[in-house]
Structure formats: C-alpha cells, structure tokens
Chains A and B, each alone.
Chain A
Amino acid sequence: MNRRLYDKLIFEHSRPGRSGYSLPRNDFDRHVGELPESCRRQEPPALPEVDEPTVVRHYTNSSTNNFGVDTGFYPLGSCTMKYNPKINDALAASRSIAALHPFQPAETVQGALEIYWELQRALSEIGGMAEFTLNPFAGAHGELTGLLVIKAYHLSRQDAGRDTVLVPDSAHGTNPASAAVAGFKVVEVKSLADGTVDVDDLRSKLNDSVAAMMMTNPNTVGMFEKNIPAIAKLVHEAGGLMYYDGANLNPMLGIARPGDMGFDVMHINLHKTFSTPHGGGGPGAGPVGVRKGLEPFLPNPRVVKKDDGTFDVAFDNTSLGRISGWLGNFTIYIRALAYILSLGSENLAKVGPLATLNANYVLNRLKDLYLLPIPGPCKHEFVFDGLKDKSTGVSTLNVAKRLLDFGFHAPTIYFPLLFHESLMIEPTETESRETLDSFIEAMRRIAEEAAKTPDVVKEAPHDTPVSHPDDTEAALHPITSWQDLCAAQK
C-alpha cells in the first residue's frame, strides 16, 4: 500500500456540460415541465458533471486505496473474513434474476422462489432449526427479527410481562442494541475468568420477566460455552427462550448445531460463515431460524412450498409482521446457496475444524510474546490482552497500526470489553499456512520492535498512503459532504 494517495473527489472532476450516460430517444410529447411550478425543483441538484472515462478512472484509482480479502489477510475477529468465491458473484449477476420485479406473479418467479426455499432448507439443516426466514438484511436486523419472534411468542401465550433480555458482558454490541430496538430492557450476565457465562450470576437474574437469553457460542473470546445445556435448561425453566447470535457459527460447521445445543431462535450472517462479500459494510444478510413451534411468528412475507411442488409468497396472520420491503437481499442468497453446493455436505463439515486449526496455530505461535488471558484451545478466534511485556508502552492500537505497514489488515481491537487491550484474531479456514506464517512473523517482529525501538511501533503506520487521521477534529467540526467542504474552504 506504499504509494501516494489518490484523493480527488468526483466533484473535483466536474465540468459544466459533461455527462456520462446514454438514454433511449424521447419521442413523447409531454414532459415533467408540465407539473405545477410548486411541485418542481427550480435549480437542478448539484451533482457532478463527468464523462464516462473519467468516472471509470476515478473509481478505479479510488479502489486501489482499499484493502479487501482479495488483497490480503484480514484477521478481523468476529467478522469471519474468508475468501469470497468468484463463481458466486458470477451466478449472482444472472440476468434472469436482475429483471424480476418483487411483485411479479409467483408463477413467473418459480426459480427465484426455489433458490430462497432451498437455501432456507439448507440453513435449517445446518442450524438444527425447523425453518428459516431469509428476509432480514444483516446480522443486527436478524437479531431484531429473532427477538420480535420471541416477543410475539410470549404475547401469543398472554405472557406479556417478559420485558427483559439477558446478554453476557462479552456480547457483540449489536446484541444489547437490538434488544433495545425491540423494546426490551437489557440485563448483563457476568463472565467467569475463562470468558464463559457465570451460571450462578445467570441463575440470580432469571425470573418471570426474562423473555430471552442471547448468546453466541463459541463466545467472543473464542471459547465454547460448555455449560450450554445447563444454561438452556435454566432459561427454559424460567420460561425464557434461548437466542443464538450466529456471528460465530463458522467453527461449529461439522461439529455441532445450535438447535441441538438448546437454542430456540438463531440468526446467521451469510456474509460471514457463508462467504458472501462484505461489500465495505453490506449488503449482507441475517437469516433467522426457529425451532419447531415458532414458525408461525416468522416475519411476512414467507416463501412456501405448495402440495403440488410449486412455490408461493404468503402472508400469515400469526406473523410478527413485516420487517422488510420484500424478501431481503436476494442476490446474497444465490451466493450463499452456491457456496453450500460448491462445498457439499462433506466439505462443509471441514470448515469448522480447519478454521479452528488455523486459529490455534496462530495462538500457539504467538502466546510467548502476547498475553493470552484465557488459555486455549480456542475455537475460530482468540483474544490477546496486548503484548506480554507491558513495560514498553506499546498499545494494542499501535500493534494494529504497525500490522498495516506489513501488508495485513488489523485484527479487531478493544473488543471484547473484558480486557483493556483486547486484540481479537480470527484467521478463517481459507488462509494457507504460509500466509499465517508471514502474519506470525510480522506479529513477532512487532513485539521485538516494541522492546527495542518502541517509537517505531507507536508512530505506525509509516507505509500507508494515509497516516494518523485527526479523528477528534472530524467529530468536533463534522464535514460530512462536498457542500460542507466547499463552505469550510470559503
């Protein structure tokens, strides 16, 4: 990444009179100018005026300022940045799907509905659930949807007093945020020293106001919650349901299913475990699965298979309602189904063990230099609490930034909140031993630098096109548009 920054904005390429589009000839007599003046814009919107070659060169240059999974290793904990297969993108670009309007009659979209149905069935098998909805747009949206299923379930039993959701203190930030959006109170459950849920603390917080317990397993420190059967039993006895945050599902492929662990409702991030691209922050997909008995509460619309083997889109009265305009981010489903079929039953079961092997390999080769607060073996990811040698003054942030100089994306930092200097590493199964070795070598060299020349680490990154952006200034005097920039320059 050591090159000059391409930093022009498309607005700075704009010249009056240029354009980059082509449209069919207009041979109609009437035009928008007939609308009453009070309805119409008096000034055109201040969009750039640019020709096609300039647009292409601008965005291509801009893309080279970016780091993706195709560029290099992305050990971002809890994000499962695995390889995004190209065949999936090729299939998702299908013209036979691109043209389909969501409100086309079901008999004209049987192929699309079959894709939805098949993926829904495959995820049910992998999750150990009775049925899935694919409608939620992302993981957090899946959490919200799953919690609304739980709310609808309790309400259907006239059990309206359940207004609390329990969340471990190690949970992803979206868990408590989703519970709040779903209208629940959030109560934290403490973790033990090994990062797993403190069952005694849980017991003390269980009562008839608890609607659900949200957990991820393995949890965010990469440990399998081995007390999960006991936890599920306790929560169920108190009348609550168990929610599985599928952000960490990857290491469980081929090992165990959330449904068999006692979870009632779960979501899956297709953009993590099922290899669909993150797209710089979406579009993802957060399908939600439920155990038998909870299907009636899934959101509308639903894809159903009729007795004659054809598919239909249905709206159900018992549903929690509608949580999306239509059936969600459809082309993401094509990619996820293609991934499942590319691997097949047998190889899908190897994903978990290989991801876990990669994580443990990195853990074991670095634990002499980085502080491992919770001993392994870990699952898909693990957390260091910064460098082992605390005398150097080199922080987790410094280590993360120095890694950029060596051509790696940084791990997740300062999460989970259980440790001060959390450095969370998730290598995924698609990384080769050579890649892991070069990452390990960089991490070891950083530890050595921290001891010998700490300023080199503290001043990092040195080799990126951008260095030490002023975040404080950005938040203090927000400039969030070209219009703001122009005003600031005046």
Chain B
Amino acid sequence: MSDHRYFPHTPEDVSDMLKACGAVSLDDLYSDVPEDLRLRNPYALPAEMSEKELRDYFDKLGDKNRRMVCFAGGGYYDHYTPAVVDAILSRSEFLTAYTPYQPEISQGTLQYIFEYQSMMCALTGMEISNASMYDGATATAEAMIMAVNSARKKRRVLVSATLNPAVAEVISTYARYHNVAVEVIPEHEGVTDRAEFEAMMGAGDIAGVIVGYPNYYGIVEPYDGWADVCHASKALFIMNCQASTLGVLRAPASLGADIVCGDAQSLGMPLNYGGPYLGYMCTTKALMRKLPGRIVGATTDRNGQRVFVLTLQAREQHIRREKATSNICSNQGLMALHTAVYLSLVGAKGLKEINDLGYGGLRYLADGLTATGRMHLKYPERPFINEALFVVDDPLTTDMVLKATAAEGILAGVKVDENEILVAVTEMQTKADMDRYVSIIKNIEL
C-alpha cells in the first residue's frame, strides 16, 4: 500500500486487516460515501519531499526573513529564552501528550499547570489562575464576557483609550457579536481620564471596566481607588497587565482588581512572528466558578499521596455545552510549561534585573534620542517602565525613522502615527545598539 515512513502498513498487513473486516478493498470501507462527492483528481499539491529537501525548502524561506535588533514592543517584547526552557519543552512526554483527562498517567502535565497557576497568582497577587487562554487579547475579551455573565442584565463595558489597540479590537469583535456595548474612556495626557471614568460609571449599568497596566504607552497609571468606584456600581475591575513587569510593579490585586489577564509572552517567549504565546487569566475565589478554561487542583489519591486533577469542570464546554463559561477547549498548555520553567529559573530576582535592564536601557536611549533634537519623549513626566512613546519632530517622520534604521538592521519601534513611535527596550539590546540607533537618527538627511 505505502512505503512512506509515517505509515507502518505493509501490503500484507493491509490485505489481512481488510479480510478481518470482511472487505476486499479499502474502497469497500467507503461504500457509504456517494460517488458524486468523491475526490475526482489527486490533490493539486506538491509531490512528497524527503527530509533533506524539506530542510532546504524551509531554509530558503528562512533566508527571506530579516532578523533585526528589535526596539519594537506594542504588546510583544524581545526577551531572552534560556536554553533550559527549550530543552524541557521538547521532552516528548510533555510535547506529545493530550489534555490531562486521565490523571493517573498525566501527573507531569497537571503538576506543571498547578505550578504555573501558583506562579501567576504570585505575580498578580490574585487568588486563582486558570491553566491558560490563547493570547492576551482573547484572554481580555473572555474577561469582558466573564464580567457580563457575572452581572447578568448589564451589557455595557468600559475600555480605556490607553489599552493596547489590538486588544481593544479583539474585545470589540467579541462584544459586537455577543450583544455587548463597548464604550471608550478617553485619554488625558497619556493616561485614562479619571473624571470621565467616574462620570461614565454614574449611569450604573456597567458590567466591567478594562484598563492596561502598564498602558499602551508603557505608562504605569495610578489606579488607586478605581476598583472602589467599580465595586460601588457592582462592575468588575479588569486589569490587562504585561506579565514581565509584574515582577516589579505593584500587584494588581492590591489595587482591587477582580480579573487580571493579559499576555505572558514577555516571560521569555520567542517572538516567532506572533506565536505561540500565552494568555493568562487570574481572579478572586469569589469569581472562581465563572472563570473560563481549565483549572488544576490538588487532592489525594487512594494511597493518600498528593496528586493533581482537572477540577471545577462543571464550568466547561464538554459538560455544560451551550451553558459553559466559555467555548475554550485546547488552550496553550505547553506555553504554561514554558512559563513555569522560565519563572523557576529567573525567579523574582531575575525579573527585577530584567526590568532594570529594560528601564535603564530605555532611559539611556531616550537621553540619546532627545539629544539629537529630532525625537523626544511625549510624556516625560509620567512613570513609564520599559516602553515609551516618542514624538518624531518635523520635518522628520516616523516612516523616515523606521526606514533609516531598518537599512542598518534596526527595528526602531512600533509606528503609532506619522509623528509618534513606541520604543521598547529589553535585556536583548546592547548599549552599542542604542548608540547606533541614536547616530542613525542624528545622521538622517532631511
């Protein structure tokens, strides 16, 4: 039948097995598929490639990409991935396992999810984490749905204008088709306008409020008291946080957040042109049963030893079908392992050092860029951490900055508009890279 290396069947196997089925040909097994539905021609796809040819093919495609020194952020950051993480993730006991429905032979997966949940609780200060969502944007959209479902009849949600726009767009998509009205709290000098927020809450029919921390411009907004305003109107306070910065920033739980969610990509996940990353989601014990996705809990087995199982499954689609808290099934399991291994290696001390490198580097770069007289910080007085919004001064434009730096292999940042660019720094860019960036800007011919 086949000599392809992925198929174990010899011709003898096929004929013996067919005999056991009372069939003569493989086609007999498809007698119920009407003739006129059958595939008439072979797939219009290339012929089989050997491994060597496959490597050549992908090498060639790889050559069409350009690796750059990355000062771009906008929600995704260029951090270092320790070699240990890749080594552990490639263990096929983890990589090739299914969702841990059989706890007796899945303690490896269940245990790392439990560790992951614990670490996310430590970072956010929250009481419970789920096993992961797809990405930060979908996690935040699911948080919005969770707020609406918790509030029953209220179908309005407020989103800060300083939230990452890609996240806001995904929230809008989920909201539009879920019959939820999303309103934007305006921005005032780089931060969410508090007076507007309080005025908008006045109507009293808001199910949830979603803000960014740090916000899209890298600014650490002061959210003291916001949760109280939300809770007075029985609205949930939802904070979308960049995971790595939580190593040094005030924990969202201490600001009264009900749901903390976002992308954990900044915890050393390779950029990989967009994924896989990991959406995380944490909440309070009070809202535990409204949480979407899988949750791992500790219990004991017949022999009294501590073991881990999937728990609180009555929330999930395979049990509750259309009444489930979400439709999520497969999530980003292996990336939860990435997070657990990464945070085990790096720890609180490493996270602090990583944030110091980003902060110190960004301040150094900002000084250099400002000295050129061609770019400057838009909100120099606001506290920002490892990303900041720069104004590109006329007649220089953002496109000119991106083009001139790209020619030297530098990705200068994320374009916000013709005269604004977001610039991020991590432990990956060297002082020499920053000096080069500054010198390119200085030397652009106008």
A and B part of one assembly: yes
Inter-chain contact B104/A461, CB cutoff 8 Å: yes
Residues on B with beta carbons closer than 8 Å to the beta carbon of A364: 20-22
**A358 and B224 alpha carbons, distance in the complex (Å):** 62
Inter-chain contact B322/A177, CB cutoff 8 Å: yes
A99 in complex: contacting residue of B14, B121, B271, CB < 8 Å: B271
Contact with A along B217-260 (1 / 0, CB 8 A): 00010101000000000000000000000111111000000000
Which residues in chain A, 66-94, are within 8 Å of chain B measured between CB atoms? 66-71, 74, 76, 79, 81, 83-85, 87, 89, 91, 93-94
A349 vs chain B, min Cβ distance (A): 7
Inter-chain contact A331/B21, CB cutoff 8 Å: no
Contact with B along A471-490 (1 / 0, CB 8 A): 10111001111111100000
B43 vs chain A, min Cβ distance (A): 4
Contact with B along A361-393 (1 / 0, CB 8 A): 101110000000000110100000000000000
User: A180 on the interface (CB 8 Å rule)?
Assistant: yes
**A179 and B324 alpha carbons, distance in the complex (Å):** 11
**A137 and B136 alpha carbons, distance in the complex (Å):** 12
**A148 and B225 alpha carbons, distance in the complex (Å):** 37
Inter-chain contact B33/A365, CB cutoff 8 Å: no
User: A409 on the interface (CB 8 Å rule)?
Assistant: yes
**A35 and B247 alpha carbons, distance in the complex (Å):** 14
A49 in complex: contacting residue of B176, B347, B364, CB < 8 Å: B347
B8 in complex: contacting residue of A66, A94, A433, CB < 8 Å: A433
Q: Which one of B93-101, B204-212, B390-398 is at the interface? A: B93-101
A14 vs chain B, min Cβ distance (A): 9
Question: Closest chain A residue to B34 by CB distance?
Answer: A226
Inter-chain contact B334/A324, CB cutoff 8 Å: no
User: A29 on the interface (CB 8 Å rule)?
Assistant: yes
**A427 and B122 alpha carbons, distance in the complex (Å):** 42
Residues on A with beta carbons closer than 8 Å to the beta carbon of B115: 9-11, 482
Size class of the contact patch on chain B: 35 or more
Size class of the contact patch on chain A: 35 or more
**A323 and B351 alpha carbons, distance in the complex (Å):** 30
Inter-chain contact B352/A44, CB cutoff 8 Å: yes
User: A157 on the interface (CB 8 Å rule)?
Assistant: no
Question: Closest chain A residue to B92 by CB distance?
Answer: A70
Inter-chain contact B330/A138, CB cutoff 8 Å: yes
User: A193 on the interface (CB 8 Å rule)?
Assistant: no
User: A190 on the interface (CB 8 Å rule)?
Assistant: no
**A49 and B124 alpha carbons, distance in the complex (Å):** 18
User: B370 on the interface (CB 8 Å rule)?
Assistant: no
Question: Closest chain A residue to B41 by CB distance?
Answer: A345
Which residues in chain B, 179-214, are within 8 Å of chain A measured between CB atoms? 179
User: B439 on the interface (CB 8 Å rule)?
Assistant: no
**A23 and B80 alpha carbons, distance in the complex (Å):** 9
Question: Closest chain A residue to B31 by CB distance?
Answer: A377
Inter-chain contact B348/A467, CB cutoff 8 Å: no
Inter-chain contact B111/A62, CB cutoff 8 Å: yes
Which residues in chain A, 220-249, are within 8 Å of chain B measured between CB atoms? 223-224, 226, 228-229
Contact with B along A282-303 (1 / 0, CB 8 A): 1110000000000000011000
**A63 and B20 alpha carbons, distance in the complex (Å):** 38
User: B444 on the interface (CB 8 Å rule)?
Assistant: no
Inter-chain contact A84/B95, CB cutoff 8 Å: yes
Question: Closest chain A residue to B313 by CB distance?
Answer: A475
Residues on B with beta carbons closer than 8 Å to the beta carbon of A485: 298
**A172 and B128 alpha carbons, distance in the complex (Å):** 28
3 closest cross-chain pairs (CB), A and B: A28-B360, A344-B48, A281-B333
Q: A177-B322, A299-B173, A469-B309 are in contact. List 14 more A-B contacts (CB 8 A).
A: A28-B364, A30-B363, A50-B345, A56-B87, A102-B76, A105-B402, A138-B331, A180-B323, A181-B174, A260-B37, A281-B294, A332-B275, A347-B48, A484-B298
